[in-house]
Amino acid sequence: MLRVSVIIPCYNEKTTIEEIVHQVQATGRAHEIIIVDDGSTDGTREILARLDGRDGVQVLFHERNQGKGAAVRSALEAATGDVMLIQDADLEYDPRDYPALLRPIEEGKAEAVYGSRFLGGPRRTMFFWHMVGNRFLTLVTNILFDTILSDVETCYKVFTSRVAAQLDLKSSGWGFDPEITAKILRQGVRIYEVPISYAGREFDEGKKISWQDGLTVFWTLLKYRFTK
């Protein structure tokens, strides 16, 4: 069985971090769970200090907030698995989707798998303009890289250690998502998509993305289409 490194970037998620770790552990698929606390100030760090070293959990602490991309980079450097699976620290994405996400890699059909919120899985209906923005950025990705993705901004990005070793990620903030997609596709790796469930949260529940982040994604896609 493939050894799966579950990577959890985390910033100010004291209300959800312990539960998501329990959910990941309950799948029985995590060889290791690498959590990177990106300078949390709400008490998350104290919870993670208690979890560190228990039941396959390894916690890395950033002394200041650097962004999701920086957290993922730190986790990838520490990961030892055959497969990397990125999991958000909130409860929007359900670890019970892991079998579907891992199956194409286990069967030798793919080296990179994305979980799509737009392929018919159950989902909580959320913000219309967020959907429009995601669809626009997905269209830009498809045009630039000649592919047919349906959800470029999904959290669930899964890829082999071979793919990970060639990514050379540089973005620290929200530019991480388009950069990783661009660099996977520039390797000549076709991304396999599977439907997932999604329970998006409201801004008063801790949702962090804004329209400015969409601009970052757009410019990052253009940048990494033509540069390394």
Q: How far apart are CA 119 and CA 121, in angstroms?
A: 6
pLDDT of residue 201: 47
Task: Report the pLDDT averaged over residues 173-177.
Answer: 80
**CATH code of the domain containing 58:** 3.90.550.10
Domain, as residue range, for 49: 4-226
Do the beta carbons of residue 145 and residue 188 sit within 8 Å? no
The total number of structural domains in the chain stands at 1
pLDDT of residue 174: 72
pLDDT of residue 212: 62
pTM of the predicted model as reported, rounded to 2 decimal places = 0.88
Do the beta carbons of residue 15 and residue 38 sit within 8 Å? no
pLDDT of residue 206: 43
**186 has pLDDT over 80:** yes
pLDDT of residue 133: 75
pLDDT tens, 213-225? Answer: 667 776 777 777 7
pLDDT tens, 12-25? Answer: 999 999 999 999 99
Task: Report the pLDDT averaged over residues 172-183.
Answer: 86
* Block residue for tokens 């200090």: 49
pLDDT of residue 123: 62
Identify the DSSP state of 62: E
pLDDT of residue 53: 96
pLDDT of residue 163: 97
pLDDT tens, 52-102? Answer: 999 999 999 999 999 999 999 999 999 999 999 999 999 999 999 999 999
